[in-house]
Structure 1
Amino acid sequence: MVTHPDTRRTETDADIISAACRSPERFAAVFDRHYRHIYAYAARRLGPDLAEDVASETFLVAFDRREKYNAAQPDARPWLFGIALNLIMRHGRAESRRYRMLARTAPDEQVAAFDNLVAGRVDATLVRGRLATALARLPRAERDVLLLVAWAGLNQQEAAAALDIPAGTARSRLHRARQEMRKALGADNVGSEA
């Protein structure tokens, strides 16, 4: 959060966005706070080639819509991730290709040059293909909730806000997605822990 020199209080995203309606240059603070998180999320979903475009466009859209921002929401992350998710959905084929490529990548190709890696990293590499396959098979609605929670670091309520769905719907989608991920990892007997 930004401390405003005149008031010595910490400004929320809502404060900054509201001020940006009068002084557009203030929106840069929202960009500075959240760009790297939006970029990192887009890169995990689409790869680095498209991530910069999606992250930049997210902030262009947000800037254009700043006057419509719900000032009752102090944290703009769910709003920004919702915009990013809509842009990512436009690149659905690229995301699917990425998951298929990750699933096809043979573990030997990943590990051969790094014989001295720790066992945990080797195990993670071996599991990556199964996870990518499971992600590709998930219905988009479940995958979006799961990745907003797992990769963007949003909680269930924030993911629901980003997707503009009820919290209960987000919770049930997340539960189903987690079950599928457990199956992909061969942890079917873990069952009821979500």
Structure 2
Amino acid sequence: MEPDDSDDEALLTRSARDPAAFEPLVERHAGGLHGYLTRRAPAVADDLLAEVWLQAYASRRTFDAARGTARTWLFGVARNVLAAHWRRGGREQPGPGTPGDRADTDPWQGVDERLDAAAVAPFLRHSIAGLPHVERELLLLVAWERLTPTEAAAVVGIPPGTARSRLHRARARLREALASTGPSPSLLDRTGDFA
């Protein structure tokens, strides 16, 4: 049985007086947070994840269920840890990597799609990296981390309506950029997470 958000929120709230209640949150969300960090800073993702848990545990009393779910709060902590890492390194946020492959039933269709994707991947990475920071972050939080636009808005710290508008704009820019490369229709269909 999959735990629900209210269960996470209750655990996070309870952990302020019972530290052992924090452990199930680590077990439930470590994979998603690690994936978020790995896609953005692969060489140091493990270290950053440890920092996320330290900061989340230290600031667990600041969680406010009225501002979002425990999962959203944890992604916000991860985003802050990542931003601090990039500031310490004195460099700009790197561009995104390539989303994972999808399993297909027809192996030859999969080969064709991978070849198309491989040809377009550098252009797509460049296009995503060229998006304004908040639009790029919203897009990746929704596409890769499977957050809802409202959850992504909470992570980024903007109103949900603004997030939906910026997400729409980012998707339109990517759709336009992909159309200009002339990829096969199947590749454009596979960009549904972005488009």
TM over 0.5: yes
Cα deviation, residue 80, structure 1: 0.9
My pick for the range that moved more, 51-60 or 144-153, is 51-60
1:175 paired to 2:168 = yes
Describe the shift of the 1:130–1:158 C-alpha distance in structure 2 as closer, same or farther (beyond 3 A): same
Who is 2:191 aligned against?
none
TM-score (structure 1 length as normaliser): 0.76
Aligned match of 2:50 in 26, 42, 56? 56
Q: For residues 23 and 161 of structure 2, what CA distance do their matches in structure 1 show?
A: 34
> Could you tell me which residue of structure 2 aligns to residue 185 of structure 1?
178
Q: Which residue of 1 aligns with 2:32?
A: 37
Counterpart amino acid of 1:146?
Answer: L
CA 11–148 in structure 1, closer or farther in 2 if over 3 Å, else same: closer
CA contact under 8 A between 1:12 and 1:75: conserved in structure 2?
no
In structure 2, how many angstroms separate the alpha carbons of the residues matched to 1:43 and 1:118? 26
CA contact (8 A) 1:14 1:73 kept: no
Matched, 1:147 2:126: no
Contact 1:142–1:177 (8 Å) recurs in 2: yes
Following superposition, the deviation at residue 15 of structure 1 comes to 1.0
Alignment length, in residue pairs? 168
Q: TM-score, normalised by structure 2?
A: 0.75
Partners of 2:37 and 2:49 within 8 A in 1: yes
1:84 aligns with 78
CA contact 1:14–1:74 (8 Å) conserved in 2: no
Task: Tell me by how many angstroms 1:11 deviates.
Answer: 6.4
Aligned letter for 1:37? G
Structure 1 position 72, deviation (Å): 4.3
Question: Is contact 1:17-1:27 (8 Å) kept?
Answer: yes
Partner SS, residue 35 of structure 1: helix
Partner of residue 14, structure 1: 9
Code of the aligned partner of 2:10: D
- Percent of aligned pairs with the same residue? 40
Instruction: Show structure 1 runs of 4+ deviating over 6 A.
Output: none
Q: Which residue matches 1:159?
A: 152
What is the aligned-residue RMSD (CA, Å)? 2.8
Which letter does structure 2 place at the counterpart of 1:56? Answer: A
Change (3 A) 1:94 1:43: farther
Q: Paired residue for 1:128?
A: 121
Segments of 5+ residues of structure 2 without an aligned counterpart are 99-109, 182-187, 189-194
- Offset of 1:89 from its aligned partner? 2.2
Question: Structure 1 pair 74/179, CA: closer, same or farther in 2 (3 Å)?
Answer: closer
Contact 2:68-2:151 within 8 A present in 1 as well: no
Greater Rg by CA? 1
SS at match of 2:118: helix
- How far residue 66 of structure 1 moved from its aligned partner, in angstroms, is 0.8
Structure 2 counterpart of 1:133, which letter?
H
Deviation at 1:45, TM superposition (A): 1.6
CA distance in 2, matches of 1:90, 1:127: 31
